[in-house]
Amino acid sequence: MTGLIRLGAALGAVLIPAGAEAACRLALLLALDVSSSVDEAEYLLQRDGLAAALMAPDVQGAILQGGGGVAIAAYEWSGRRQSTVIQEWALMSTAGDIAAVSARLRSAERSYRRFPTALGYALGFGATMMEAAPECERRVIDVSGDGITNDGFWPQQAYRHFPFGGVTVNALAVLGADPAVVDHYEFEVLHGPGAFIETAQGYEGYEQAMIRKLYREIQDRIVGAMPDPAAGPG
């Protein structure tokens, strides 16, 4: 399945300097849904919501104050062979690093529009991409979407046939398009120790849901309720 990866479509990478791997505590791979159920307005709310979430004070604080950097990469996914890298692996250890990644994500152009939801293939793509991540203490794939698998093999088959050892898969289920999305993500997509699901009230709620999710993933702790961003982590 390595042929699924289309690295040539990636935007410019932020190079990870030699020796930086030792200072990395988390490799975080973000997977964004661009299947046909996501219209153009929703796509922008998702893309810009992720970019804004990285710049949120709580998230920046979790990245910069935790000791060691966070390596991040991102790709868009939809059908069986429609997965495209929009952010190569980059180590975020300063505010400037975070701002550069946020700006790059915000400038991404949508890769696909008319393909179905092939979550198994998307996860296989992510597992292969994760093999190229720097050495970090933890490895997490963060999958966002608003529908269930309707093309190709299902997520559990991906977990059996792709290299997911030591990888946790968390989910952000966007409510509104498919009433089965939460159950699908909870029972089919979540994978590994401590895996969890976050929900967004439509794409209008995506940014705030992503802030909660990134904060929890980076802090690596269970939070009962994310405080108001203006109030800080507490």
Q: What is the pLDDT of residues 72-117, one digit of tens each?
A: 999 999 999 999 999 999 999 999 999 999 999 999 999 888 999 9
Mean pLDDT of the chain: 87
Is 230 inside a domain boundary? no
Q: What is the pLDDT of residues 166-180, one digit of tens each?
A: 999 999 999 998 999
Whether this model's pTM surpasses 0.75: yes
What confidence tier does 67 reach under pLDDT thresholds 50, 70, 90?
Answer: confident
Is 5 inside a domain boundary? no
Is pLDDT larger for residue 12 or for residue 33? Answer: 33
Is 1 inside a domain boundary? no
Domain count, the chain: 1
How far is 173 from 144, CA to CA, in rounded Å?
6
**Which among 120, 22, 125, 113 is positioned nearest to 73, based on CA atoms?**
125
Question: Quick check: 222 pLDDT over 70?
Answer: no
What confidence tier does 229 reach under pLDDT thresholds 50, 70, 90?
Answer: very low
Cα of 188 vs its chain's centroid, Å: 17
Is 228 inside a domain boundary? no
Q: Do the beta carbons of residue 16 and residue 103 sit within 8 Å?
A: no
Domain that holds residue 66: 35-219
CATH number of the domain that 73 lies in? 3.40.50.410
Is 231 inside a domain boundary? no
* Angle subtended by helix axes 95-106 and 57-65, to nearest 10: 130
